[in-house]
């Protein structure tokens, strides 16, 4: 009997030790089992939240007027409210409003640099820097004309200036303008870890090195707008075409163009799939092949962000955000 007890204890120790090193099994090519038919199985945060459903059509939270940009700061959701010149801070866990803060005129884009929120003020040709912890305004900095959506590259903020077809690079630590680069159009920006990608009004996507020099230009659909990076590929919403383009980040090769209907606007990656806001609604695409996995209601959706468990969608005509 004593030997049996010892054997069981040793087995438990071995199992517990193995669980400390899950990555090793993956490196060795061992498959990770997933319960069949469970949409939350690929995301442990969804399992913890008992989030078995694909879409939530009822959970919405009031923000400022005409929200456009949406960003996640690691704990909270922020919206840029173009209609009343504010940003709203919501607790991601339950949507509670934590603050509303004044910025410049017609805020559209918003992004997080690890400590602060940056907001584009479209009509003022400026960006505002707010401390994420309490919303305190740390500075307002001039950029190009019609600043729209932005990206952070780990050191600097890149701003798409939609009215003068340029991109401005600001040092995140103090807002100093480091350079402005002509791109032939600029609406939205994403950073892939190496390059800056810019959607333009010239029906292409421009790729820049971090010094602003060109690293290529790639044709997509008409008037591309939203853009996102999935770790290997860049996804672009072609608004008038009702399509989304998938480009390989290493060389810009088009891997697919997918019909989503409506007018695609914003794009976000949830770790597995791509979410695209539309007028009307929202669509989920499988990241591997662009297959449509679901369509959800919500007219006039604009910005979109992922918080690690849920997708947040701004309703530009509804003064609210939806949590899926």
Is pLDDT of 87 > 90? yes
Are the beta carbons of 234 and 227 closer than 8 angstroms? yes
Mean pLDDT of the chain: 86
pLDDT > 90 in the chain, percent:
75
Q: Tell me, what DSSP letter sits at residue 300?
A: T
Tell me the whole-structure pTM to 2 decimals: 0.83
Q: Is 107 helix (H, G, I), strand (E, B) or coil?
A: strand
Position 318 scores a pLDDT of: 79
Please give the Cα distance from 64 to 87 (Å, whole number).
7
User: With left for phi above 0 and alpha for psi between -120 and 50, is residue 67 left, alpha or beta?
Assistant: beta
Please give the Cα distance from 181 to 186 (Å, whole number).
10
Position 231 scores a pLDDT of: 97
Q: Tell me, what DSSP letter sits at residue 319?
A: T
User: What's the mean pLDDT in 38-61?
Assistant: 57
Position 317 scores a pLDDT of: 83
Position 12 scores a pLDDT of: 35
Is pLDDT of 30 > 90? no
Tens of pLDDT along 251-293? Answer: 999 999 999 988 999 999 999 999 999 987 899 999 999 999 9
Least confident of 17-21, 43-47, 119-123: 17-21
Position 166 scores a pLDDT of: 97
| Class in CATH terms, 44-323 | mainly beta
pLDDT > 70 in the chain, percent:
81
Position 4 scores a pLDDT of: 37
Tens of pLDDT along 205-231? Answer: 999 999 999 999 999 999 999 999 999
Position 15 scores a pLDDT of: 34
User: Containing H/E element for 120?
Assistant: strand 116-121
Tens of pLDDT along 113-130? Answer: 999 999 999 999 999 999
Least confident of 33-47, 65-79, 140-154, 180-194: 33-47
User: Containing H/E element for 102?
Assistant: strand 97-102
The residue length of the chain stands at 324
Helices (H), 159-311: none
Report domain extents, the chain: 44-323
**To 5 degrees, how large is the angle CA 193–CA 194–CA 197?**
90
Q: Which residues are registered as beta bridge partners of 247?
A: 234, 254
């Amino acid at each position: 009997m004593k030997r049996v007890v010892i054997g069981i204890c040793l087995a438990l120790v071995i199992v517990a030790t193995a669980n400390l090193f899950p990555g090793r099994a993956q490196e060795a090519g061992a498959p990770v089992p997933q319960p069949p038919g469970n949409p939350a199985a690929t995301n442990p945060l969804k399992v913890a939240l008992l989030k078995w459903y694909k879409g939530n059509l009822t959970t919405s939270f009031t923000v400022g007027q005409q929200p456009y940009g949406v960003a996640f700061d690691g704990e909270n959701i922020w919206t840029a409210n173009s209609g009343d010149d504010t940003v709203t801070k919501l607790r991601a866990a339950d949507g509670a409003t934590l603050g509303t803060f004044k910025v410049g005129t017609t805020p559209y884009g918003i992004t997080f640099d690890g400590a602060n929120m940056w907001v584009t003020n479209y009509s003022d040709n400026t960006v505002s820097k707010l401390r994420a912890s309490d919303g305190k305004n740390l500075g307002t900095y001039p950029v190009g004309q019609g600043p729209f959506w932005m990206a952070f590259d780990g050191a600097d903020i890149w701003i798409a200036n939609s009215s003068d077809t340029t991109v401005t690079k600001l040092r995140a630590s103090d807002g100093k303008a480091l350079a402005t680069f002509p791109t032939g159009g600029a609406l939205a920006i994403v950073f892939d870890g190496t390059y800056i990608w810019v959607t333009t009004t010239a029906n292409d996507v421009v790729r820049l090195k971090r010094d602003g020099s060109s690293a290529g230009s790639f044709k997509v659909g008409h008037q591309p707008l939203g853009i996102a990076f999935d770790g290997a590929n860049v996804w672009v919403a072609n608004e008038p075409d009702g399509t989304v383009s998938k480009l390989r980040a290493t060389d810009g090769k088009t891997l697919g163009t997918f019909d989503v209907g409506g007018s695609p606007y914003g794009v976000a990656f949830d770790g597995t799939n791509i979410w695209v806001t539309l007028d009307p609604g929202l669509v989920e695409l499988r990241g591997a092949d662009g297959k449509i996995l679901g369509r959800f209601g919500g007219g006039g959706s604009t910005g979109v962000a992922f918080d690690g468990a849920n997708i947040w969608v701004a309703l530009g005509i509804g003064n609210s955000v939806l949590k899926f």
